[in-house]
Amino acid sequence: MNKEVLKVFFKPLTWLNRIIKKDEKLIFFYSNLGFRDNVKAFYDYLLDKGYNDEYKIVVSINDFEKYLENPPKNVLFVNNKKGIKHFMKSKYAFYCFGKYPIKPAKSQTVVNLWHGTPLKKIGNLESGLEKIDYNFFSFVVASSPMYKPIMAKIFGCDETNVEVLGNPRNDELFAEDVQTDRKICESYDKLILWMPTYREYDEDYVVSILKKDQLQQLNDKLKEGNSKLIIKLHPLQVAKNFDNQYSNISFLTQKDLNKKNINVYQLLRNTDGLITDYSSVYFDYMLLNRPIAFTVEDIEEYGKKRGFVFEDPFKYMPGAKLKTYKDLEEYIDNVIKGNDPFAMERERINMVINSYNDGDSCKRVEKKVFGGIR
């Protein structure tokens, strides 16, 4: 269905949603990119709190089939087409990937949990998308007061519809799970995670500034320091013929993590350093106050094509700026040796980006939506 057809289809549903009586005991979750991130984190939190003893919970996701066998008590998994009727009956609804373009009824609370604190321009800030309506919620979550006007501009809403509650997925960074943590860390002294965003690389490169013929050299350096580098590939990225070739470098996909029953945030909390580029994951990682490096070899070109929410993104990137393989080696050396030259700058930026450093974002969302904490 193209966008124009969808617009025609959903427009009358906003009117219908206003008159349908809401079920006070129905909670609805939606995602069109798998059951993960903030919606999954908040869903897990509600189940841990026993909400499914009192409420019916409907989860509408694109890969609903995975969850049909032995669902929890009072939880129903449906596809996104069937999810529409449940959404319009629900008193409470949450999403972070995709949404139904249906305006909330006055008697309904629809929460846009989104999927991170943006560095790149998105929504109404993107060139050519300024007039698109993204406002289909009661409120959207933000990480700090500085982001209230930014999120309001992105989604075309008033700042009063932006709530500084933190990202539910980040609570995982503060959790403790000895068995999972032991499985991730294995016997290495240092663990470094590389999370590149999607690029079309020259055939000589694996990711960003790392060439294929440099892998063995990098592996030797890591081995010498009893350290491991995990490269978490973007879903559209492929690293054929590399995995299992190197003792201290591994390539992971989302499917690999699913098989191991590990999520990205469990992985993050066990690492000693993060390498990324313009992914918002580093805003989350700052909560752990550990070294970050940024591959910025194409930042000028990227800024012209996509753009950033800040005029000078470097001001909010507290870490080593990597443009060459030598820069990469230097950063890894620092992590192995425990050197952290950007610690003070990172702490300062974190105070501006993240208002809360406590692992209680789910509690704040719960209190805001349900009026209290169980």
User: What is d(CA 269, CA 170) in angstroms, rounded to the nearest whole number?
Assistant: 10
Q: Output the CA–CA distances (angstroms, integers) from residue 132 to 3, 7, 122, 138, 152, in the order listed.
A: 11, 11, 11, 18, 14
**pLDDT tens digits for 11-24?**
899 999 999 999 99
User: What is d(CA 55, CA 75) in angstroms, rounded to the nearest whole number?
Assistant: 9
pLDDT band at 79 (very low <50, low <70, confident <90, very high): very high
Between strands 109-112 and 273-276, the pairing is: unpaired
290: domain CATH number?
Answer: 3.40.50.12580
pLDDT band at 241 (very low <50, low <70, confident <90, very high): low
Instruction: State the DSSP string of 265-332.
Output: HHHHHT-SEEEESS-THHHHHGGG---EEEE-TTHHHHHHHT-BSSSSGGGG--SEEE-SHHHHHHHH
Question: pTM for this one?
Answer: 0.92
The answer to whether 160 and 239 have CB atoms below 8 angstroms apart is no
Instruction: Give the tokens for residue 173.
Output: 């960074």
Q: Output the CA–CA distances (angstroms, integers) from residue 260 to 79, 118, 237, 248, 278, in the order listed.
A: 25, 28, 20, 19, 27
Average pLDDT, integer, range 172-200: 87
Examine the pLDDT at 333 and tell me if it is beyond 60: yes
**pLDDT tens digits for 30-40?**
999 989 999 99
Quick one: 142 and 240 in the same domain?
no
Instruction: Give the tokens for residue 250.
Output: 């591994």
Examine the pLDDT at 365 and tell me if it is beyond 90: yes
Residue ranges with strand state E in the chain: 23-31, 56-61, 75-78, 90-97, 109-112, 139-142, 162-164, 190-195, 205-207, 210-211, 227-232, 249-252, 273-276, 292-295, 320-322
- Token look-up 């943590």 returns 181
The answer to whether 167 and 40 have CB atoms below 8 angstroms apart is no
Quick one: 230 and 132 in the same domain?
no
Quick one: 182 and 313 in the same domain?
yes
pLDDT value, residue 85: 97
Examine the pLDDT at 107 and tell me if it is beyond 70: yes
Quick one: 270 and 290 in the same domain?
yes
pLDDT band at 372 (very low <50, low <70, confident <90, very high): confident
3-state secondary structure of 341: coil
pLDDT value, residue 184: 85
Q: What DSSP designation does 2 have?
A: -
Quick one: 261 and 313 in the same domain?
yes
Quick one: 117 and 197 in the same domain?
no
**pLDDT tens digits for 245-287?**
899 999 988 888 888 888 899 999 999 999 999 989 999 999 9
φ, ψ of residue 306 to 5 degrees: the values are -105, -45
- Domain of 106? 3-171+359-370
pLDDT value, residue 180: 84
Average pLDDT, integer, range 89-118: 96
**pLDDT tens digits for 190-233?**
999 999 877 777 778 888 899 999 999 999 999 999 999 999 98
Quick one: 37 and 159 in the same domain?
yes
pLDDT value, residue 206: 85
- Residue 21's identity, in one-letter code, is K
**pLDDT tens digits for 115-160?**
999 999 999 999 999 999 999 999 999 999 999 999 999 999 999 9
pLDDT value, residue 242: 62
pLDDT, the chain, mean: 93
164: domain CATH number?
Answer: 3.40.50.11820
Quick one: 16 and 37 in the same domain?
yes
Taken in order 267, 273, 278, 281, the sign of the CA dihedral is positive
Largest CA-CA distance found in the chain, in angstroms, rounded: 67
Chain-centroid distance of CA 199 in Å reads: 18
Q: What DSSP designation does 127 have?
A: T
User: Considering its fold, how many domains does the chain have in total?
Assistant: 2
Quick one: 117 and 64 in the same domain?
yes
Quick one: 147 and 240 in the same domain?
no
Quick one: 256 and 150 in the same domain?
no
Average pLDDT, integer, range 284-293: 97
pLDDT > 90 fraction of the chain, expressed in percent and rounded? 79
User: What is d(CA 255, CA 258) in angstroms, rounded to the nearest whole number?
Assistant: 5
**pLDDT tens digits for 49-77?**
999 999 999 999 999 999 999 999 999 99
pLDDT value, residue 6: 65
Q: What DSSP designation does 371 have?
A: S
User: What is d(CA 17, CA 3) in angstroms, rounded to the nearest whole number?
Assistant: 20
Quick one: 118 and 225 in the same domain?
no
Average pLDDT, integer, range 327-352: 97
